[in-house]
Structure 1
Amino acid sequence: MAEGNSQPADTTPPTDASADASSPDYLKIIANHREELLTAMKATDWVETKNKDGIRITYRMTDKGKMFRCEYEVDASPKVSIRYCSPAKGPLNGLREKFRKSALKSVEIIEETEKYFITREVLGSAMMGLISERDLICVYGWDTETEDKGAYILHPSIEHPKYPPKDKPVRAIKHAGGHFFFPVEGNPDKSNVVVLIVLNMGGMLPVSVVDSFQTGAMFDFATQWKDAAAKKFHESN
């Protein structure tokens, strides 16, 4: 898997939040996160937990918690596929909320530049109320065409002074979050998708509830995405 085309942080003209010298180096956070996830993909200790309808979900233990991995093929090129997991309000002309049937209640963009954007995302209650409302603060970084004609979009959690954690909603932490897209050999208009996530839901939740929620959410998203891409949802949106 080749390196992407993202430029080092010190070559990016300061804009918006990046103009503040005290602001975190979000591009470095994204670059480090990408290397972490690419390394995880090469691990050999993945354990299968679900394999159905062309969607395979595995997991492995990390020092930050259980990492889930979901793999499948979609009927869209990497450059198009990236739109399916990007917020509709973001700079990538995203489609996520337009086709996704989920508990995602709202997405607010806190900061936006040409290289990254930061969101506050609120998840409604799930699993018949066993999981109450959560929110996440995430930074999104991406490359729509890497050297191997693939793409990626990463979205780990960060802290942000505008939205410190409160009692309600419960603050969830995405220790790892990313979508990687690789062109299908012989058919560049299709993509092999690899999704990686380590999510701490916060609160006093049993591990079995969190694992069930995460596996179900990933499988449902993949199913809806495959169906939307097969219907060329992106061509009319």
Structure 2
Amino acid sequence: MAQTDYNGIMDQTIKKLWEYHEDDKDWKHLKTSGDLVIYQKKSDAFDGILYKIERTMNMSPQRNIDLSFDWKFMETADKGVKSIELIEHIGGPDNLHILRSVSDSAMFGLISAREFITMPGVRHYPEKSLHVLAHVSVDHPKCPEDKKFVRGVIYPSGRFVYEIAGEPNKCRLVEYGQNDPKLSIPRIILDQAVPGIIKAKIDHFNTALEKLDAAEK
């Protein structure tokens, strides 16, 4: 069996994220709450929606990256995640990992728990004061499909983490997300609920971060 070119997959994922980032056409504004702004457009990767989220966080870019690779923290900080399992640390310049995550049920049980096999990584652009965190669904020999779960698919998604001049303990984020949870309910129902789901996930993350900060003092 041919070995999967995970580095090549990450190259293509980051290339696609840059295409989204540089394309300012057809974005529809969905929601503004404080400094949080959410947009959407039709995905070019599947029959669904690509979301763009802009916000500022009170943490340094490096801490944002470090926490994104802290699986124990992310289990508690990501409102939609029940468990995260590290399958393989590939490493390399993009610090690639293979993860198996299981989601909680959502929308009052209308969506049952899902399983995702994803590859997160990070690419640094020091000349731009920028870091790009990317993730995408992949196949892995240690993760055959589990009949107990519906396996969802995450298409090229990620986060542009910008430094803010003169404010080392803040960062500006531009995030792109698109996933197919393989629903048996009409897609339009989920699309209508997504802005509220995104806001709830961010609020949950901020609460988990406050608890972590308090514990570290």
Q: Please tell me the TM-score bracket, short chain as reference.
A: 0.7 to 0.9
CA contact (8 A) 1:118 1:138 kept: yes
Q: 2:8 aligns with which of 28, 37, 59?
A: 28
Structure-2-length-normalised TM-score:
0.85
C-alpha separation between the residues in 2 aligned to 1:112 and 1:178? 19
Q: What root-mean-square deviation, in Å, do the aligned CA atoms of Structure 1 and Structure 2 show?
A: 2.5
Structure-1-length-normalised TM-score:
0.79
Instruction: Tell me what 2:82 maps to.
Output: 105
Residues 219 and 174 of structure 1: CA distance in aligned 2, closer, same or farther (over 3 Å): same
How far is the alpha carbon of 1:140 from its aligned partner?
1.2
CA contact (8 A) 1:75 1:191 kept: yes
Q: 2:37 aligns with which of 56, 68, 74?
A: 56
Unaligned 5+ segments in structure 2 are: none
- Partner amino acid, structure 2, of 1:127: M
C-alpha separation between the residues in 1 aligned to 2:64 and 2:215? 12
How far is the alpha carbon of 1:76 from its aligned partner?
1.1
C-alpha separation between the residues in 2 aligned to 1:105 and 1:227? 17
- Identity score, percent: 26
- Where do residues 76-225 of structure 1 align in structure 2 (5 Å cutoff)? 76-88=59-71, 95-98=73-76, 100=77, 102-114=79-91, 115-143=95-123, 146-225=126-205
SS at match of 1:129: coil
C-alpha separation between the residues in 2 aligned to 1:39 and 1:178? 12
Deviation by residue 1:116-140 (Cα, 9 ceiling, x = unmatched): 1100100011111010110100011
Residues 226 and 35 of structure 1: CA distance in aligned 2, closer, same or farther (over 3 Å): same
C-alpha separation between the residues in 2 aligned to 1:152 and 1:175? 16
Are 1:66 and 2:49 counterparts? Answer: yes
Question: How many matched pairs?
Answer: 211
Residues 188 and 120 of structure 1: CA distance in aligned 2, closer, same or farther (over 3 Å): same
- Partner amino acid, structure 2, of 1:105: K
Residues 208 and 83 of structure 1: CA distance in aligned 2, closer, same or farther (over 3 Å): farther
C-alpha separation between the residues in 2 aligned to 1:226 and 1:111? 28
Residues 210 and 165 of structure 1: CA distance in aligned 2, closer, same or farther (over 3 Å): farther
Deviates more, 1:157-166 or 1:103-112: 157-166
Deviates more, 1:120-129 or 1:200-209: 200-209
Unaligned 5+ segments in structure 1 are: 1-20, 90-94
Deviates more, 1:105-114 or 1:138-147: 138-147
Residues 101 and 26 of structure 1: CA distance in aligned 2, closer, same or farther (over 3 Å): closer
